[in-house]
Amino acid sequence: MKRNVIVAPSVLSMDYSQMKEQLDEVSASGAEWLHFDVMDGHFVPNLTFGPDILKGFRKACDLFLDVHVMIERPAFFSEKFLTAGADNYTFHYEVMKEVEDIHNLASLVHSQSKSVGISIKPDTPVEVLKPFLNDFDVFLIMSVEPGFGGQKFIPESLDKIRTLRGWLDEAGSKAHIEVDGGINETTAVLAKSAGADVLVAGSYIFRQNIREAVKSLA
Ligand code: DX5
Ligand code: ZN
């Protein structure tokens, strides 16, 4: 089935000395989402940006702000990012202690009429997502170990995407499957044919002509 593909450039790999110019290029490129990687130095061994920086991005572009939090306390920070302008808020399955916490955070984000996503790391089996097929708008399958841009695509992610897409189709869910990490013109084709419809790309896009890179992924 042909799905509309959304490209989500990840600002983690942006040249921050040319933020505005690069954001304008992304907006002109046809990319619909902007992927915003939040890291707390605990869940992953890297530290990035918080809600105040997201406010700046919100003012600087009209793109759909797709916030991916790789942090230990996603519930605690959720309102701050939503208020700062997040359109989607994706948190990690691995930091949630109880199933109830997952449902509660998803409902909290929905109560603010925002999109909510759940993400799993490469070592987490896709089966953990099965109980939540109707609770989320976005399922983010990490195709690299979270924490850094520029890593190599993990091909085992494709089976997870295929399996998940089968379950979502069976459940009649229109949720997005987003793939994140090591996406380039080759792995994008594989991910799309496995059933992903949102492609995150950081280093591939920001290391070359932005418009051409985005076009080559869609
Ligand atoms: C990694 C982040 C990814 C990363 C993708 O923890 O979640 O979004 O920025 O970067 P590339 O596309 O360079 O693998
Ligand atoms: Zn990400």
Per-residue pLDDT of 122-140, as tens digits, reads: 999 999 999 999 999 999 9
Confidence bin at 66 (pLDDT 50/70/90): very high
Cβ of 14 closer than 6 Å to ligand 1, yes or no, is no
Nearest CA residue ID for atom 10, ligand 1: 149
Each residue of 151-178: pLDDT tens digit? 999 999 999 999 999 999 999 999 999 9
Confidence bin at 72 (pLDDT 50/70/90): very high
- pLDDT confidence of residue 1: 63
Q: Is residue 54's pLDDT more than 90?
A: yes
Cβ of 13 closer than 6 Å to ligand 1, yes or no, is yes
Q: Active-site residues: which are they?
A: 37, 180
For the CA of 181, the nearest atom of ligand 1: 14
Pairing of strands 64-70, 33-39: parallel
Mean pLDDT score across all residues of the chain: 97
Nearest CA residue ID for atom 4, ligand 1: 149
Confidence bin at 3 (pLDDT 50/70/90): confident
Provide the H-helix boundaries in the chain: 19-29, 51-60, 74-84, 99-111, 157-170, 185-194, 203-206, 210-217
- Nearest Cα neighbor of 218 from 210, 67, 113 is 210
Cβ of 203 closer than 6 Å to ligand 1, yes or no, is yes
- pLDDT confidence of residue 2: 72
Ordered strands of the 176-180 beta sheet = 6-9, 198-201, 176-180, 138-142, 115-120, 88-92, 64-70, 33-39
- pLDDT confidence of residue 200: 98
Cβ of 37 closer than 6 Å to ligand 1, yes or no, is yes
Percent of the chain with pLDDT over 70: 100
Handedness of CA 130, 107, 96, 203 (dihedral sign): positive
